[in-house]
Amino acid sequence: MFFLLLIGYVAGLIAGVSPCILPILPVILVGWSAPVADQANATRLRRRRSLAVVSGLVISFSLITALGSVILSSLGLPPNFLRDAGIVLLVVFGLGLLSPRLETLLERPFVRFTRSTPSGTKSGFVLGLGLGLVFVPCAGPVLAAVSVLGARGHASLYSVLLSFFFGAGAATPLFFIALAGDTLIERNRRLATRARRFRPLGGALLILMALAITFNVAATLQRVIPGYTTSLQHLIEGNGFTSTQLRAVEGQHSNGSLVACENAAAAGGMSSLSRCGVAPPFTGISAWLNTPGTRPLTMAGLRGKVVLVDFWTYSCINCQRTLPHVEAWNQRYAKDGLVVVGVEAPEFAFEHSVHNVTVAAHQLGVTYPVAIDDQLSTWTAYANQYWPAEYLIDASGVIRHVAYGEGDYTGSENDIRALLTAAHPGLVLPPPSNLPDMTPTGSISPETYLGTARSQYQANQSMTDGVTQTFTMPSSVPATSYDLGGAWTPSGDFITAQSNAQLNLNFTARHVYLVLGGTGTVTETLNGRPYKTISVRGIPTLYTMFSGSSTFSGVLGLSFTPSVQAYDFTFG
C-alpha cells in the first residue's frame, strides 16, 4: 500500500496546481510576506514562517478530511463548525495585520512558550491550521475515498496517512510559491524595507478572502477557468492499479474477477456471461421489504436460484426507468427460479427513511424483495459505484454479469434466460417480455443537483450553506445551466424556497424531472409562455416538469411558493 501513498502525494501535487487552489493562494502570499522583527535573520525567519503556514495547512486539512465527521458527530457540533472556525481564524489574523495592538495580543500566547523574540513561526502555524479548515482542493478518487471513509466513521490510521500525503502534495506547490515570493523580497531591498507599510493591505486581503470563501465567490472563477489538470488526474488516479488499491482502503473486498467485470461494465458493457467471483453476502441491511414477515434473505439461502441484485434509489429517474423491466422479469420468471433483490442505496438524506422507501416502492409498483442498505455496507461489499447497477448471479452463487445504467434490457433478459435453463435443463420458459426501451438517445442535459454540495451548474451568484440569500435573475441562462431569483435558503442536498423564489433552467431533453419536497406549488413557464402548475405534497418525490414527443431545447421557468424544497433535476 506504500505505492498508494505515493500516488496520493502525486494526486495532491496535481490538485495543488489546479484551478481549485485559487481561493487560498492570496492567503498563502499574505502568510509568508508578513514582516519580521529580527531583520538580521529576516530571510531565514520568513522561510520558517512559510514552512509553518504550509505545515499547519497539511496537518489541519489531513485530520479534518479523514476524521472531521467523526469529531463533529462525537461532540454534537453542526457540520459547518470547523469551516466557520477556519474563516474566523483568517479574519482574526487579518485584523491583527490591520491593528498593531491586536497583533501584540495575538503574539502574546506564543511568547510564553519561548524566551526569544517572536518570529511569527508559531502564529504562522496557527494561520495554516485555519487555512486547512477551509481548503477544498479538486477531489479525485483518492480524496473521495478518504472522505467517504471519514463520513461513514470508518477512518483508519492508513486513511489518515493517505490524507496526509495528499495534503502534503497539494501544499508543495504553495511552499515553492512562498519561496519564490521570498526570493523576490530578498532581491528587492526597497520592497523589503517597505514591507511593513503593506501590512494593512495584507490584513484587508485576508479579511476579503475570508469573506470570499464564506460566500463561495471564487466558484465562479473556478468554473470559467478550464480544468487543465483533469486528464493528468485521470491518468494518475483512474488506472486499474489505483482503483484496486482504493477499493481495498474503502473495505471493498471484491475479488479481482469482480473488479475486472465492473471495469468492463463501466467501460461500456460486458458482451457475454463471465465468471466474476462469488457474490458477497447482504451486509448491514437495516430493513427488508416484500419478504415473508419482513425476514431477511441470505445469499446462502438463495443457492439454487438465479439472483438479480439491482442497486437503486427511489428518486433516481434512471433507476425508475429500469424498474418496469426489472419488475417484468420478476413477474415472468419467479416461478422458474429467478429471485430479484432490489438494494435501495440512498443518495439523499430523505432516502434513509424506511417509511419513505416503503411508500415509494409501493407507488412505483415494486413487488420483489427490497433490502434497505442504509449505511451502504452491501454497496461497499460489491465495490459498486453506480445507480442503477445490476449483478446477475447464477444458481451456484457466482456473479456472471454486471451492468451499469440504463439500456440493453434485451441482453440482460437473454442472460437471465440462459442462466435459468442452465440451472434447470429442459425448462420451458415463457416468451421474453419485450417491453419498450425508454433509454434516452442523443445528447441531453446532465443531471443537475441544486444543493450546495454539488451545485456545479448554477450560473449566477453562488450560495452559502444555511444562509438565506436573495438572488437577482439575469436576463439569459447559459445552456445546460440554471439561475436563481428571489430568496432561497440552501443546504447540502436541496434548496428551500422563500419569498418570490424563482428558477430558470436552460435544458435539452425529451423529459425533465425534478425531486421536490415540502408543501406548496410550482408554477411553470416554457420559453416565457405559461405551461402548468404542480402541487407538491408529502415526502420528497420525483415530479415530471416537462414531457415532449422528441428532444427539445428551451428555458423552463419555475416559480415556487415558500417552503417548497428542490433537490435534483434529471433528464430523459
Task: Report angle CA 108, 27, 177 to the nearest 5 degrees.
Answer: 110
pLDDT in tens, 341-385: 999 887 766 777 788 888 888 888 888 999 998 877 888 788 777
φ and ψ of 506, to 5 deg: -95, 110
Give the three-class secondary structure for 551. strand
| Mean pLDDT, rounded, for 186-197 | 55
Integer angstrom CA distances of residue 500 from 215, 232, 558, 561: 21, 44, 11, 7
Statement: residue 140 has pLDDT above 60: no
Predicted confidence band of residue 397 (pLDDT cuts 50, 70, 90) = confident
CB 496 within 8 A of CB 517: no
Helix spans in 303-407 (H): 317-333, 354-363, 377-381
> What DSSP string runs through 14-40?
HHHTSGGGGGGHHHHHHHHH---S-GG
Beta bridge partners of 535: 521
In whole angstroms, what is the distance from residue 21 CA to residue 6 CA?
21
Which of 6-15, 142-151, 254-263, 488-497 bottoms out in mean pLDDT, i.e. has the lowest?
Answer: 142-151
In whole angstroms, what is the distance from residue 370 CA to residue 353 CA?
14
Say which residue, 487 or 186, is predicted with more confidence.
487
Beta bridge partners of 308: 340, 392
Structural domain spans, the chain: 2-232, 252-423, 448-571
Which of 27-31, 216-220, 554-558 bottoms out in mean pLDDT, i.e. has the lowest?
Answer: 216-220
pLDDT in tens, 49-58: 777 888 888 8
In whole angstroms, what is the distance from residue 106 CA to residue 93 CA?
8
> Of 67, 484, 414, which Cα lies nearest the Cα of 272?
414
CB 458 within 8 A of CB 482: yes
Place of cell 485530520: 63
Predicted confidence band of residue 559 (pLDDT cuts 50, 70, 90) = very high
pLDDT in tens, 315-324: 777 788 788 8
Q: Is 234 left (phi over 0), alpha (psi -120 to 50) or beta?
A: alpha
Q: Is 456 buried (19+), middle (13-18) or exposed (0-12) by CB count in 10 A?
A: exposed
In whole angstroms, what is the distance from residue 185 CA to residue 195 CA?
9
Number of DSSP helices (H) and strands (E) in the chain, helices first? 18, 15
Query: Which one-letter amino acid corresponds to residue 176?
Result: F
Name the superfamily (CATH) of residues 252-423: Glutaredoxin (3.40.30.10)
Strands 469-471 and 399-404: unpaired
In whole angstroms, what is the distance from residue 132 CA to residue 559 CA?
39
| Cβ-based neighbour number of residue 441 at 10 Å | 9
Give the three-class secondary structure for 459. coil
In whole angstroms, what is the distance from residue 546 CA to residue 548 CA?
7
Give the three-class secondary structure for 227. coil
pLDDT in tens, 525-544: 999 999 989 898 877 888 88
User: Tell me, which fold does domain 448-571 have in CATH?
Assistant: Jelly Rolls (2.60.120)
Strands 338-344 and 370-372: parallel
In whole angstroms, what is the distance from residue 28 CA to residue 435 CA?
59
In whole angstroms, what is the distance from residue 11 CA to residue 144 CA?
12
Angle between helices 199-214 and 25-33 (to 10 degrees): 150
Global pTM value: 0.51
Helix (H) or strand (E) holding 569: strand 565-571
Strands 495-497 and 565-571: antiparallel
In whole angstroms, what is the distance from residue 62 CA to residue 56 CA?
10
Integer angstrom CA distances of residue 338 from 71, 273, 321, 397, 561: 45, 17, 21, 13, 47
pLDDT in tens, 75-110: 766 656 777 777 787 788 778 777 767 766 666 655
Helix (H) or strand (E) holding 399: strand 399-404
